[in-house]
Structures are given as C-alpha cells and as structure tokens.
Amino acid sequence: MTLTSLTPETEPLLTAVLPADRFRRAEDRYLEEPRGRFRGQSGLVALPRSADEVATLVRLCARHRIGIIPYGGGTGLVGGQIIETGPVPLILSLERMNAVRAVYPDENVAIVEAGVILADVQEAALQAGRLFPLSLAAEGTARIGGNLSTNAGGTGVLRYGNARDLCLGLEAVLPDGSIWHGLSRLRKDNTGYDLRHLLIGAEGTLGIITAAALKLSPRPAYSGTAMLVVESPAAALKLLTLGRDLLGDSISAFELMHRQGMEFLAEKLPDIRRPWDNPPEWCVLVEVGVTAGQNPTDALERLFVAGAEAELVSDGIIAQSQGQSDDFWTVREHIPEANRRVGSVSSHDISVPLGALAEFITKANARINDIGDFRINCFGHVGDGNLHYNVFPMPGKTKADHLAVREQIKRSVHDLVHELGGSVSAEHGIGRLKVGDLERYGDPAKLAAMRAIKGALDPAGIMNPGAVLRG
Amino acid sequence: MTLTSLTPETEPLLTAVLPADRFRRAEDRYLEEPRGRFRGQSGLVALPRSADEVATLVRLCARHRIGIIPYGGGTGLVGGQIIETGPVPLILSLERMNAVRAVYPDENVAIVEAGVILADVQEAALQAGRLFPLSLAAEGTARIGGNLSTNAGGTGVLRYGNARDLCLGLEAVLPDGSIWHGLSRLRKDNTGYDLRHLLIGAEGTLGIITAAALKLSPRPAYSGTAMLVVESPAAALKLLTLGRDLLGDSISAFELMHRQGMEFLAEKLPDIRRPWDNPPEWCVLVEVGVTAGQNPTDALERLFVAGAEAELVSDGIIAQSQGQSDDFWTVREHIPEANRRVGSVSSHDISVPLGALAEFITKANARINDIGDFRINCFGHVGDGNLHYNVFPMPGKTKADHLAVREQIKRSVHDLVHELGGSVSAEHGIGRLKVGDLERYGDPAKLAAMRAIKGALDPAGIMNPGAVLRG
C-alpha cells in the first residue's frame, strides 16, 4: 500500500483540524542528524500540545495514509528520525508537550510528557531529592519520549538498567489514533500483555509515546570517582567482578577507555583537562555511589588495593574533589565529540556477552588490520558488554579516502559480533541505518513475529515508515 | 473458529510423531490447582524433551486446530493452567526440559530450561557463588517457564524486580511452530521489538517458553532480618522511605503483616514459632543484604533507632542468629498456608500506587464492613504497593456461608483498586479467573492492541485458549 505524500495539496487535510500555530515548515534542524549521513525532505512539522491533538493527527494520517515521523530531540544516530526519499511524511514533534506533570518523591515516581528534555527530567528528580539515573552524552538535547522509543542506554545501565527499566507506564497514541492511558505508578501489574515494553524500543513504528511514568531512585548520599589503569579489557572485567563482590551495587559506572580516545581529545579538544599526559593503553572510569555512613573514597581505595593485589590495576587516580571528578567525566563525555571531529570511517555500537569481550577486541583489531591501516578507538560501557568500536583514518588521511572499504569494515565487525552471540546495535537502535543488519543477523522467527505485530497494529504502515522494518 | 477436541480419535494425530514415552494420560495433578476453584478435563499430557519436540507438537496442533495448555509447576492461582470445558486441549508439560544448560558466574548469567524448578535455579546460582533473587512461597514446585510466563513477583521485587526484570533472553516456540532462538546473554540489545517482554506475562497465550537466559546477582556478603512493629501501613511506608535514604538498595525485603495472619498461624499451624505471643496489629519483616565491610545488624539497628526517633516504630526484634532469621521468614511464608486452612471467602492480589496504600486499606475495610462481619488478613509486599487482601468468615462460619456475597466483596475491592489507579492482579496474572476483570477495568485501547497481537501471532487461537483474552 503506497502512502500519500504530504504536499501543498494534501497538507490542508491536516492543517484544517488544529490551530495554525500547531504547524510550521520543517526547518533544517528537523532534516539533519548528528552524523550527517541522512538528510530529510522539506515538509510540514506538527507541534501538538496534548495527547488528544496527537490522536487527532494520527487518525487523519491513518485515514489518508500519510506517514508520520515521531520526533523527539533529533539526537538519534541511526536515522530513525529522517526519511530521505519516497512519500513526504508529517514530522510530528513532541517538543511542546514538555511538562513535568507530577513528581511523587515518596513513591519514587515522576510523570513527564514525552517532550521533556532528559536533563530536565534529571533536574526535576533532583529538586525532589531523587535520582533519575538515565544519563548519556546527548542529555541536554534528547527528549524522554525519544529516549524511551529507542530504549536509550548510557552510563548508568550497569546499576540502574536501560531506559525501559526506568519506565513504569506510558501514555501513547496507537496507529489507529486511539489513546492508551497507561500512566501506571505501579511496581507490579500483571494484567495482560506488556504493551509498555512493546512500544519502548519500537522507535516510533508502533505508536507515539506522549507521556511516561518514570521510576526514580534514592540519591546516593555520597559518590566518588576514580580512573584506574588496567592491563587489558579482560583485566577490566575481572576488576568489575572483584568490585561487585567488594562493593555490591554501589558501582554505578564502569567505563573503559583506550589511549586512542585520549589522543583524539588532545588533538581536537586540547582545552579539556586530561588525567595523564602520557595516557595508558587502557583505563576505566569507575564511579561509586554509597549510602550515609559510608565513604566513597574509602570504597574506591579498597577497590584500588584489591585490584592491585590481584594484579589487575597498575596505577590510578582517585578524585579528591568534585572538580576532579567532574574532570574525569568531562573526558569521558567528550570522546564522542573528539571522534566526530576526527571523522570515523565506520562506527559500531555493539555488545557481546561479557565473557567474549576480550576476544572480540583482539579479533576485531586483527580483522581491521587485514583490511588496512587505521586508528581504532574502542571505548564504552564495559560492564554492559557494550563497546563503541570506531575505526578512523591514519593521520593525514580522511574518511573520504576509505569509502571503498567502509562497508567491508562494518561487515567484518558485525559478522564477528554475530559469531560471538552479540548485538550489532546495543543502544542506538535500528533506525534506517541498520535495517539491512537486522534482516541479515536477526532471528527469522523473531522477524516474522515483528512483521506480524507491525501489520496488526499499523495496517496502513503510517508509523515511522521504513524504520526498523522495511516498508 | 472452533478448536478440535483431543479425543481417542484425534490423539493419534499427535502421538504418532514422537516416541510413546513422550505422552501420558492426564493424572489428577494436571487437572487440579492450588485453591480448588478449577478442575480440568481428562486428556493427554505431552512431555517433550527439547524445543524441537515442542515445535513439532505445536505445528501439528496449529494444523489440526488443537488447543494447547503450556504446563509448568501447576502452582498458578488464577486458573491459567486449567481448561474446564469446551474442546479438550493438549496439556504440554515442560517438566522433562529441566536442565541448567550453563552458568556464567563472571557474567552473572544462567541458561536454564523452562522446566527447571525455581528452587533449583536458586541452588544452581548459589553453587556458582551468585544469587537468583526470584523468591516466592511456591518456589519448591513452580517451574521457571511458568514464573516467566506469569511474570512472577514474590518477596525480592523491591530490590531486584519482577521475573521479567531477571530475564535477558528466551528460547520459545511461537504459535506457528517456529522456534525463536533468543537466549541472549546481553545486557544491551536494541535490535527490534522486545519479543521477550511480550512473551513474559502473556501466560502462554502467545507461545511456549522453552528456555531462558537469567540475570544473576552478586550475593550480599551478609544479610540480616528484623521484625519491626509499626502503627499503621502509612507508618510502614514512611519507614521504608527512611530506610532507603539510610541504607540505599540494601533493603531486599519489606513485608507488611497484620495481626490476623499471626492469629491464623496460631490457630492452624501452632507448631510454627511466632515472634510474639500477643502480636501487634501491624509489623514489617525487613531484610537487608550488605557488602563486605558492613554489618547487617548495625544497619538494622540504625533503621530501628531512626524509625523510633521518627515515631514510626514502637518495638521490634532484630534477629540475632540465622535460626531466628529463618523463623521470621517461616512465619511470613506460612501465612498463605494458614489462610488456605481457614478458607477465604474472597482473595485479592492487588496493587495501588504507594501513596494510596493506606487509603486503600481504610476504605476497603469499611466497604467489607458494610457487607457483613468478616475477618480480614491484609499482608504483602508493601514496598511494591502489592497487598494480598483476603477476606475470611468469622469463627464458627465457613466460606460456604458467604457464597451469596462473594462476588459483591470481590467487586467492591476491585472497584476501589481501580478508582485508586491500581491493578486487580498485581502478581498472579489474569488466567481464567480474571478475564472478566480485565475486560471491565482494562484500558480499551490496550485491550484492542492485545487482541490484535493475539490474532496476528496465533490466528488459530490454539495457545492457552480462553486465558487472558476470551476465546
């Protein structure tokens, strides 16, 4: 079934039903994405103010078979928010649905609209003496509806889980324009299929999240940060196991970094204070959050000592102030920006079982080396088995020099991930960039079930057409 | 579409394709359920030994339109495992698929088949120095496939989540007989719709779970238990908030008990050692699990002192030995058995937002009082907002004396739960007992989506027909 293109002729089908200020022409920001790989078509943006207005638009789009892109902060890295060709869709932005509807500190719950910026959710929790632990580099721009639609990950997953683990309930407009009122504040509710988890991670292809009930956490009384030098990724993992035995759930972040990332920082963002002039090959950024009566510095020292005794840690720095701790995090959070400035030939957001992580890095490096001379920046959320394994040109070359082997690099990394039982999209999702990967590596029975579900809930195929599943 | 009844004439359609020892006549244990409300029809039980054998049976059942009951430990409380009337189904028991396939201690992962008894999963984790935190009264009989299919709760939810939160991946046979090989050991995987969470909690109506990748946890180095006397459920909740601020995630259980439960224990199970001869109206069983370097008794004492200072706790006992701690848990775990021996008029497995919990108890008691004279035993996982609110006859009466008001009691409790934004099935599921409740209280858009999904994945309607959704 072909979709109807949104043109000056068909736009009045939509614009007639809501006030004029609910629409605007699509400016550049709606048509671009962070890595510049996709470019959208000019068209119409709708800016509804309520779930009812979203429902009105969806019903009309269903009736007239007009495609819809649910639009959050536009920070996605796999083109889920951009349709480059084919029938022009409506861009339905949630940016005006940005109210924190309620915070229940004693329940550890917040009810927020889909357009609230992630950092503002964090701030609302903080104001109530609570923690919303979802944290990622784009948190100043990304909106919570998009975070949920893509099941965002980030640095807090080790302790607090992915975005889906932080959501108790949803309000959403389904592809037929009905509104699911599912803003549950309940911790336990076994009344039927879990529609919440089906919409989370569906990247807007099964409906539009308009609000969410989020799970907050008590704030750790004190937190502390250290940079520890490890011999290898395998040593980092053993250190994490040791640390969890010693410190339990108090380890809230455990981020692996390779020397290459520090060197890119020195080259492209020299103003950022780095922990070492001569960085070690591998280090981990460890954060602990402890309760009253415990001392985070003591906890990190115990980890340091135990790691050294086990010959897993050879050196390290425990932050002695909030400023030093912030510096460590600034380093970690600017690695993606330094990467962007260098310009990768191919970037991979992969996960493998923890036990296969060291093997992955060794074998992937060898395969890339067989293809040519490259610089590899491998970093990420090692406690989650999630690495950003990014391949860069050597100094003096640019990514344009390697276009011919880009697909080969991606394929060899993804094949290896698949051989090791891993995922070719650990936290960024499928979008449009990885539709082919999903078809290649996905389980056939799961894919058939996904297509059946998509066909049942969105028979006209209007919801983010071409994302996740080929249209 | 009518299903084919499994009769001596149609049984050979199935029995011809697998060895004879894969089948037996349905003994009583397959036709009964714990509360004696449902009674199944005599028929055939299949006992497949592998996912391939399950798939063979499902394909044949789909072709011949024979209903299937996926059968675990038979401990469900809502009749999900029993079909009383209509076409006789195949009872497909997973009991011979009871291998722990692998344990990965460093990854905190175990791969187990669906027929492994929950206590055996816990034991396999323990043997590897890890914790599998799902814990409930029926753990010696319930099987993990059933626990996942019903998204079981229990006493560990506060810290570790429901069954769905403890599952990384599944192997399952879908209603068309295809096998989904989804035994992922990954913590992060954003490649398409979350089929795992759709099957978990679907009560066998969308497929048959044959194996699962389970999330294990580090074992707390030390644990401690206390019984604390609180003035009211509201005080219990405030104490929990205080405790989390003081002790963070180390509180692993927080169970509210009412005097009525202690009195039922004294009456029906007098050999069980009770903490008080004259029990208080309300008390909470608190468990903490702490890491090395911390002392659980100190932690509980701090909670006791802070609770007393805040006038939330008036008395209490901190267990001084493992034996005393076990005694406390024995009390808690035998309350359901004492209830059974008394014989409830109506039992309710409900949850409400934490902030509405005290209001629920006050109003529910008043509504029951308006209906007649009853004894109420209200206990449960108060940190999850999940109460078992059970109504019993006065001494000298039996539940048979109150059959005329049973429906009225249930309805008034469930109406109140719904008014307060709660769930009429917090952890037991819908089964066949609560199909009408789901239709009455469920969100219409969600119900329509559920029916669309059921129709898309199981067009012949063979998977646990009549459970969750009316056939």
Q: Look at A125 and B471; give whichever has higher pLDDT.
A: A125
Which residue out of A108, A178, A193 would a mutagenesis test of the B interface target, given it has the greatest number of B Cβ atoms within 10 Å?
A: A193
Chain B, nearest residue to A240 by Cα:
B106
Question: ipTM score here?
Answer: 0.96
Specify the pairing of strand A375-381 against strand A386-392: antiparallel
Considering chain A, what is the average pLDDT of its residues?
96
Would an 8 Å CB–CB cutoff place B60 in contact with chain A?
A: no
The CATH number of domain A100-218, selected from 3.20.20.140, 3.40.50.300, 1.10.275.10, 3.30.465.10: 3.30.465.10
Yes or no, beta carbons of A354 and B107 under 8 Å apart:
yes
The topology under which CATH files domain B222-419 is Alpha-Beta Plaits (3.30.70)
For residue A109, which residues of chain B lie inside 8 Å, CB to CB? 353
Q: List, by residue range, all CATH 3.30.43.10 domains of chain B.
A: 12-95
Q: Quote the CA–CA distance of A296 and B377 in Å, as a whole number.
A: 44
For residue A295, which residues of chain B lie inside 8 Å, CB to CB? none
Identify which of B95, B394, B174, B375 has the alpha carbon closest to the alpha carbon of residue B259.
Answer: B375
- Token pair listed for A182: 């599912």
pLDDT confidence of A52, banded at 50, 70, 90? Answer: very high
The answer, yes or no, to whether residue A408 has pLDDT greater than 90, is yes
**Does residue B23 contact residue B47 with C-beta atoms inside 8 Å?**
yes
Q: Quote the CA–CA distance of A430 and A77 in Å, as a whole number.
A: 9
Which residue out of A157, A190, A468 would a mutagenesis test of the B interface target, given it has the greatest number of B Cβ atoms within 10 Å?
A: A190
For residue B429, which residues of chain A lie inside 8 Å, CB to CB? 190
Q: Which helix (H) or strand (E) holds B393?
A: strand B386-393
For residue A174, which residues of chain B lie inside 8 Å, CB to CB? 445, 448-449
Identify which of B210, B222, B215 has the alpha carbon closest to the alpha carbon of residue B46.
Answer: B210
**Does residue B68 contact residue B61 with C-beta atoms inside 8 Å?**
yes
Yes or no, beta carbons of B441 and A191 under 8 Å apart:
yes
For residue B421, which residues of chain A lie inside 8 Å, CB to CB? 184-186
For residue B246, which residues of chain A lie inside 8 Å, CB to CB? 291-293
Other CB atoms within a 10 A radius of the CB of residue A330 amount to 14
**Measured at the alpha carbon of residue B382, what is the angle toward residues B219 and A209, in degrees to the nearest 5?**
90
For residue A153, which residues of chain B lie inside 8 Å, CB to CB? 188, 190
- Looking at CA atoms only, how far is residue A25 from chain B in angstroms? 31
- Looking at CA atoms only, how far is residue B31 from chain A in angstroms? 24
Yes or no, beta carbons of A385 and B187 under 8 Å apart:
yes
The predicted pLDDT at position B249 comes to 81
Yes or no, beta carbons of A428 and B201 under 8 Å apart:
no
Q: Quote the CA–CA distance of B284 and B240 in Å, as a whole number.
A: 10
Identify which of B326, B305, B327 has the alpha carbon closest to the alpha carbon of residue B316.
Answer: B305
Would an 8 Å CB–CB cutoff place B351 in contact with chain A?
A: yes
The rounded percent of chain A whose pLDDT value lies above 70 is 100
Specify the pairing of strand A208-215 against strand A109-113: antiparallel
- Looking at CA atoms only, how far is residue A202 from chain B in angstroms? 5
Distances in Å between the Cα of A330 and the Cα atoms of A110, A225, B315 are 28, 12, 49
Identify which of A425, A429, A426, A369 has the alpha carbon closest to the alpha carbon of residue A394.
Answer: A369
A222-332 maps to CATH 3.30.70.2190: yes
Yes or no, beta carbons of A438 and B191 under 8 Å apart:
yes
Q: Which helix (H) or strand (E) holds B237?
A: helix B233-247
Q: List, by residue range, all CATH 3.30.70.2190 domains of chain A.
A: 222-332
- Looking at CA atoms only, how far is residue A285 from chain B in angstroms? 19
The predicted pLDDT at position A290 comes to 86
Yes or no, beta carbons of B423 and A191 under 8 Å apart:
yes
Chain B, nearest residue to A105 by Cα:
B241
Tell me the CA end-to-end span of chain B in Å, nearest whole number.
9
Q: Quote the CA–CA distance of B209 and B150 in Å, as a whole number.
A: 11
Distances in Å between the Cα of B255 and the Cα atoms of A245, B151, B227, B386 are 27, 19, 9, 10
The answer, yes or no, to whether residue A63 has pLDDT greater than 90, is yes
Yes or no, beta carbons of B198 and A201 under 8 Å apart:
no
Class of the CATH-defined domain A343-428: alpha beta
Q: Quote the CA–CA distance of A411 and A407 in Å, as a whole number.
A: 6
Which residue out of B149, B158, B165, B193 would a mutagenesis test of the A interface target, given it has the greatest number of A Cβ atoms within 10 Å?
A: B193
Yes or no, beta carbons of B449 and A354 under 8 Å apart:
no
Which residue out of B148, B188, B244 would a mutagenesis test of the A interface target, given it has the greatest number of A Cβ atoms within 10 Å?
A: B188
Q: Quote the CA–CA distance of B205 and B147 in Å, as a whole number.
A: 14
Other CB atoms within a 10 A radius of the CB of residue B53 amount to 21
Phi-psi region of B396 (alpha: psi -120 to 50; beta: other; left: phi over 0): left
CATH (residue range B12-95): 3.30.43.10
Q: List, by residue range, all CATH 3.30.70.2740 domains of chain A.
A: 343-428
**Does residue B82 contact residue B115 with C-beta atoms inside 8 Å?**
no
- Looking at CA atoms only, how far is residue B221 from chain A in angstroms? 8
Range A124-160 burial, b when 16+ CB lie within 10 A, else e: bbeebebbbbbbbbbbeebbbbbbbbbbbbbbbbbbb
At position B306, the amino acid (one-letter code) is A
Scan residues 262-291 of A and list those with Cβ closer than 8 Å to B: 290-291
The predicted pLDDT at position B1 comes to 63
Would an 8 Å CB–CB cutoff place B305 in contact with chain A?
A: no
Task: Give residues with Cβ within 8 angstroms of A271, minimum separation 6.
Answer: none
Task: Give residues with Cβ within 8 angstroms of A6, minimum separation 6.
Answer: A14, A43, A44, A66, A67, A87, A88, A89, A90
Other CB atoms within a 10 A radius of the CB of residue A5 amount to 15
Chain B, nearest residue to A188 by Cα:
B426
Identify which of A58, A139, A145 has the alpha carbon closest to the alpha carbon of residue A97.
Answer: A145
Q: Quote the CA–CA distance of B118 and B135 in Å, as a whole number.
A: 8
Other CB atoms within a 10 A radius of the CB of residue A305 amount to 12
For residue B293, which residues of chain A lie inside 8 Å, CB to CB? 246, 302
Instruction: For B200, list phi and psi in degrees, rounded to 5.
Output: -70, 125
The predicted pLDDT at position A1 comes to 62
**pLDDT tens string for chain B (471 positions)?**
699 999 999 999 999 999 999 999 999 999 999 988 999 999 999 999 999 999 999 999 999 999 999 999 999 999 999 999 999 999 999 999 999 999 999 999 999 999 999 999 999 999 999 999 999 989 999 999 999 999 999 889 999 999 999 999 999 999 999 999 999 999 999 999 999 999 999 999 999 999 999 999 988 888 999 999 999 999 999 999 999 888 888 899 999 999 999 999 999 999 999 999 999 999 999 999 987 778 899 999 999 999 999 999 999 999 999 999 999 999 999 999 999 999 999 999 999 999 999 999 999 999 999 999 999 999 999 889 999 999 999 999 999 999 999 999 999 999 999 999 999 999 999 999 999 999 999 999 999 999 999 999 999 999 999 999 997
Yes or no, beta carbons of B453 and A453 under 8 Å apart:
yes
Q: Quote the CA–CA distance of B208 and B200 in Å, as a whole number.
A: 10
For residue B430, which residues of chain A lie inside 8 Å, CB to CB? 190-192
**Does residue A360 contact residue A387 with C-beta atoms inside 8 Å?**
yes
Would an 8 Å CB–CB cutoff place B421 in contact with chain A?
A: yes
The predicted pLDDT at position B290 comes to 86
Chain A, nearest residue to B148 by Cα:
A190
SS (H, E, C) chain A: CCCECCCCCCCHHHHCCCCHHHEEECCHHHCCCCCCCCCCCCCEEECCCCHHHHHHHHHHHHHHCECEEEECCCCCCCCCCCCCCCCCCEEEECCCCCCEEEEEHHHCEEEEECCCEHHHHHHHHHHCCEECCCCCCCCCCCEHHHHHHCCCCCCCHHHHCCHHHHEEEEEEECCCCCEEEECCCCCCCCCCCCHHHHHCCCCCCCCEEEEEEEECEECCCEEEEEEEEECCHHHHHHHHHHHHHHHHHHEEEEEEEEHHHHHHHHHHCCCCCCCCCCCCCEEEEEEEEECCCCCHHHHHHHHHHHHHHCCCEEEEEECCCHHHHHHHHHHHHHHHHHHHHHCCCEEEEEECCHHHHHHHHHHHHHHHHHHCCCEEEEEEEHHHCEEEEEEECCCCCCHHHHHHHHHHHHHHHHHHHHHCCCECCCCCCCCCCCHHHHHHHCCHHHHHHHHHHHHHHCCCCCECCCCCCCC
Name the residue facing B456 among A190, A249, A452 (closest C-beta): A452
- Token pair listed for A88: 């022009």
What average pLDDT does range A152-179 have in this prediction?
Answer: 96
Q: List, by residue range, all CATH 3.30.465.10 domains of chain A.
A: 100-218
Scan residues 124-163 of A and list those with Cβ closer than 8 Å to B: 150-151, 153, 157, 161-162
The predicted pLDDT at position B10 comes to 95
The predicted pLDDT at position A137 comes to 87
Inter-chain Cβ pairs, chain A and chain B, closer than 8 A: 283
Would an 8 Å CB–CB cutoff place B185 in contact with chain A?
A: yes
Would an 8 Å CB–CB cutoff place A177 in contact with chain B?
A: no
Name the residue facing A426 among B190, B248, B442 (closest C-beta): B190
At position B389, the amino acid (one-letter code) is Y
The answer, yes or no, to whether residue A92 has pLDDT greater than 70, is yes
Name the residue facing B237 among A106, A352, A353 (closest C-beta): A106
Beta bridge partners, A68, equal A90, A463
Task: Give residues with Cβ within 8 angstroms of B411, minimum separation 6.
Answer: none
